[in-house]
């Protein structure tokens, strides 16, 4: 199982179930849209999606929150670009990226338990991130347990590739 999540060779070889690849593409696209909203929307989606009562904050504090949310969106967008690169060029890393996203979500919820954010009214961002977390877990399970997985090149094939001679 660890060989499926941490491959010995990072390449573009597809080693999982095709459904997991499509889920990863949708997952990456949806996260990218959320991150772009955090960067470019007027309130950084802090009030409209997360329910943070920016209208009750002094203008400088509201501006600081919007700036921090935009910076978090940018750092998450960089992760999404790495996911897109893996989708296009380094598919053997997709299970690891699924796992990293799951760890990030659990850590995010853990931090919010220790440092809760006061919210105003009903916010829908929590349901969206929970849905993406579940979608990512489904994709990881399908990838790791799905048919079509193989170890990739054998050690003899890797050795012959390095030396330049054909494998026997």
Kindly report the CA angle at 129 between 125 and 133, in degrees rounded to 5?
A: 170
Whether the pLDDT of residue 97 is over 50: the answer is yes
The residue extents of the domains of the chain are: 14-149
Q: Which residue has the higher pLDDT, 100 or 156?
A: 100
Which pLDDT score, from 0 to 100, does residue 163 have?
52
pTM (whole model) above 0.85: no
d(CA 157, CA 168): 8
**Alpha helix stretches (DSSP H) within 48-93:** 59-88
Interval 53-64: pLDDT, tens: 888 899 999 999
pLDDT one-digit tens code per residue, 105-147 = 999 999 989 998 888 866 777 788 888 899 989 988 888 787 6
31-34: long-range contacts (C-beta < 8 A, 24 or more apart)?
Answer: 31/76, 31/79, 31/80, 31/83, 31/132, 32/77, 32/80, 32/84, 34/73, 34/76, 34/128
């Amino acid at each position: 199982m660890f060989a499926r999540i941490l491959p010995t060779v990072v390449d573009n070889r597809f080693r999982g179930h095709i459904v997991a690849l499509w889920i990863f593409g949708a997952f990456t696209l949806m996260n990218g849209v959320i991150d772009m909203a955090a960067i470019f929307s007027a309130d950084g989606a802090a009030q409209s999606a997360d329910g943070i009562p920016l209208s009750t904050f002094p203008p400088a504090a509201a501006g600081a929150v919007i700036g921090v949310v935009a910076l978090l969106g940018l750092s998450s967008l960089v992760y999404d670009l790495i996911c897109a690169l893996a989708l296009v060029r380094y598919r053997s890393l997709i299970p690891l990226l699924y796992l990293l996203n799951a760890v990030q979500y659990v850590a995010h919820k853990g931090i919010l338990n220790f440092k809760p954010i006061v919210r105003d009214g009903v916010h829908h961002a929590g349901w969206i991130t929970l849905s993406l977390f579940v979608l990512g877990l489904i994709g990881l399970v399908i990838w790791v347990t799905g048919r079509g997985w193989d170890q990739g090149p054998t050690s003899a094939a890797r050795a012959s590739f390095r030396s330049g001679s054909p494998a026997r």
